Structure 1
Amino acid sequence: MVDNTDEAQEHQHSTEWAPIVWTHLSTLRQRSPLIQCITNFVSMDLMANTLLSVGASPAMIHSLQEIPEFTPRADALCVNVGTLTADWVPAMKSAAQVAAQSGKPWVLDPVAAGASGFRLKACLELVGLRPTVIRGNGSEIIALSKASLGHTKGVDSSDESTDAVEPARSLAQTSGSIVAVSGAVDFITDGQRVVGARNGVAMMQKITATGCSVTALIAAFVAIDPLHAFEATTSALSIFGIAGEIGMELAKGPASLRMHLIDSLHGLDQATVIRRVNIISMS
């Protein structure tokens, strides 16, 4: 008798995804892609250390004057609008345009997109430059999908990731980007397919810049497999969540989890990844 239970189907999906996730991580370690990050002051440290821990090479280059020379050399670009000012917007737009002209993927993190008209306008203009991937929390993705201000608590989400699945699908269709929604379950969609990455622990929300850092990780994964950005994005979210789970087993609170998260990313091996991947198909 064939077992058609939801549990069996979920196990099958995870089994199918596990070798994909490991291949992405091992390839990243071999290639050590150079990732340019135009990001906020709060996240620079953890973002850089996250990239280093998985074997990528971070470059926190945000000067408008450097972009024409440097951005074409990077393997991918990560744009994060966290501590946004009017002075940063031209550099973000320029880097996105240069990355696209150079055939390099770029990833947008629309931090608190719905918190102000200035921020929303900047994010929508960046979306118009066709990022390869957009990664945000539920409230951010809903704000971009509706192109309207939302109810936010600063950079924190007022919406569950499940609330943003359909807005994410719509945003993916209109933007041409892969859209990822972080939350208790991370959802990834290309406008048609939707998968859920169910690794991670709640304590990660108590560490500033974990969302920013996973966006940089997505950029690194997409850099080594730009033709399969959907799969690369899913792999990055799964790997970050697995590292969080392992780190939490050793941590006493947010500060020690931050340390163990980085150590766990560095130490992940094939057996651990294959065993722990928890990805389900939603469509």
Structure 2
Amino acid sequence: MKTIAWNDAPVRDALAALKRKQPFVYGLTNYIAASLSANVLLAVGAAPAIGAALDWPTCFAAGADALWINGAALVSDGAHALRAAACSAHEAGTPWVLDPVAVGAGSAAYDETIRSLLTYKPAVIRGNASELISLAGGAAPGKGVETQARSIDALPYIQRLAQQTCAVVAVSGETDYVTDGSEVFAIGGGDARLARVTGAGCSLGALIAALLPVSPAAIQAASAAHAIYAVAAERAAGVRGNGSFGVAFLDALSELDPHVA
């Protein structure tokens, strides 16, 4: 297992490449997380578009530099939109991220829909411990979209899931872990209040997507995204209250200088 953090040159190189390329990143997510997801992408220099308007799932998923799909987009979009976007990205070679939010929470129809998206070969699957343990076929405690399992408990499951899907799998928690099924990166740091800002986890999927087209491999994109998130959260930690933390977190993301450790 390797540790990775903001001070490692590959992380800062990835952010520098993102800022140079300014990739177009298309996403399907829920209305609760959409604003923060767009602002996270704008803070690092990417160009976001979010939503399933008319034929966007087909044309934007094929034409974007990257795509991310958060399962909770089903709150407002039909399953056909998610499948259309995933299929279009797969056929066009657009790298994409799947966030299986709330898988294993007790909704069989929802879980089946999310599992069907694996057919379209996401480059990265990211989520919390309960979601990923469930997606890998295990059983884990959770409350709706919130995990009651630890990220370290999910480690063998995410390695199995990566091997089964040929995707990189990333789990968030006290320590984040990213694996391609053999190699494992551990990312520490961050701030516990990320779990108290609605959409912060969903927005991490968007950041991973933005880094995919500028990184040599998906495991490097995912691990860099987690490290960037962690350092921004640490730099925002001095403020009081969850609301102030959310704003300070976006400020810290926008102020990260990839040329300064």
TM-score (norm 2): 0.94
Count of paired positions: 260
**Which of 198, 212, 216 is residue 222 of structure 1 equivalent to?**
212
Q: Which runs of 5+ in 1 are unaligned?
A: 1-8, 275-283
**Counterparts in 2 of 1:59 and 1:92: CA distance versus 1, 3 Å:** same
**Counterparts in 2 of 1:173 and 1:269: CA distance versus 1, 3 Å:** same
Structure-2 residue corresponding to 1:238: 227
Residue deviations 1:66-102, cap 9 Å, x none? 3332222210000001252595211111111111111
- Give the match's secondary structure for 2:170: strand
Q: Which amino acid aligns with 2:246?
A: R
CA distance in 1, matches of 2:56, 2:144: 31
Deviation at 1:14, TM superposition (A): 4.5
2:259 maps to 1:268: no
**Which of 7, 13, 16 is residue 26 of structure 1 equivalent to?**
16
Structure-2 residue corresponding to 1:129: 120
CA distance in 2, matches of 1:149, 1:262: 34
- Give the match's secondary structure for 2:143: coil
**Which of 80, 91, 94 is residue 84 of structure 2 equivalent to?**
94
CA distance in 1, matches of 2:167, 2:94: 14
Deviation at 1:63, TM superposition (A): 3.3
Deviation at 1:269, TM superposition (A): 1.6
RMSD, aligned α-carbons? 2.0
CA distance in 2, matches of 1:187, 1:177: 14
**Counterparts in 2 of 1:134 and 1:241: CA distance versus 1, 3 Å:** same
The higher radius of gyration belongs to: 1
CA distance in 1, matches of 2:213, 2:152: 28
**Which of 9, 34, 37 is residue 44 of structure 1 equivalent to?**
34
Question: Within 5 A, what are the aligned runs for 1:166-181?
Answer: 166-181=156-171
TM-score (norm 1): 0.87
Identity rate, percent:
36
Of the structure 1 ranges 50-59 and 79-88, higher mean CA displacement relative to structure 2 is found in: 79-88
